[in-house]
Every structure is written in C-alpha cells, then in structure tokens.
Amino acid sequence: MTFRWQKRSCQKLVILFLAIMVFASISTVPAWAQADTGGIAPVSAAHFIASLQGLGNRLYNSAAPIIDVVAKLAFAAIGIFLIVAIFLGAKALRWILGTALAMALGILIFYGAPWIVEVIKHVAFSLQQ
C-alpha cells in the first residue's frame, strides 16, 4: 500500500535526478571539441582539489569559534531548562534530555568531521592498493 505523499516524493526525486543528468550532460564538452574557454587557463585536477580543500579548511576554521559560542549558550539554556523541568514534569525532562543529546551528537560530528574524512580517505587508499 503506497500513500499519495510517497508517490509525489518519488516523482520529485526522479525529476530532480533527470534535471541533474540533463544539466551535467549539457555542461560536458568532449576533449576533441577545442571549445573556446574565454581566456581561462586550464586547471589540473590536483590544483582543483587543493583549492577545494583550502576552501573547506577556511570554512571549518571560521565556523569553529561560532559553533563554540552557540554550543556554550545552548548548553547553558539546557541547564536552566533542566532546573525548570523539576517543576514541569517528566515529559518536559525527556524533551530537554533528548535535545541535549542531539546537540551533543551534532557537536561531536562537527569536531569529529576531519577525523571521519581522514578515516574514509585511508580506507579508500587501502582499497585502491
């Protein structure tokens, strides 16, 4: 038994996939075409990857102080809500503890992301050899 929302979401995913494929096929130019690049010099794959990694590092380093402040404020608010939850009851306490666990998981993923990426790179490199 399928629901109407399942059919619509599957249709949207198929349309999105087809649109991505169409745009990807339009932008590809065969190597023999000698297309005019408008004076833009070709870039090697290694230089492109290094640029993307540099951008990712700059974004990560600029977001880290903001994440620290937001996390401290959020955990302080949760501490206050835990005190208030004594008067509100068990249902509010479960909601507050769930929120605290979700925030802790998010912070753990944020700070663990470089390690996770390195592990994935190491596994991929090991599988290639």
* Per-residue confidence in pLDDT tens, the chain, 129 aa: 555 656 677 778 888 877 777 766 655 555 555 666 667 777 788 888 888 888 888 988 888 888 888 888 888 888 888 888 888 888 888 888 888 888 889 888 888 888 888 888 888 888 887
Total domains in the fold of the chain: 1
Task: Residue 103: name the closest of 64, 74, 123 by CA.
Answer: 74
Residue 122 counted as domain residue: yes
Residue 123 counted as domain residue: yes
Q: Model's pTM, two decimal places?
A: 0.51
Residue range of the domain that includes 117: 64-129
CB neighbours of 81 closer than 8 A, spacing ≥ 6? 92, 96
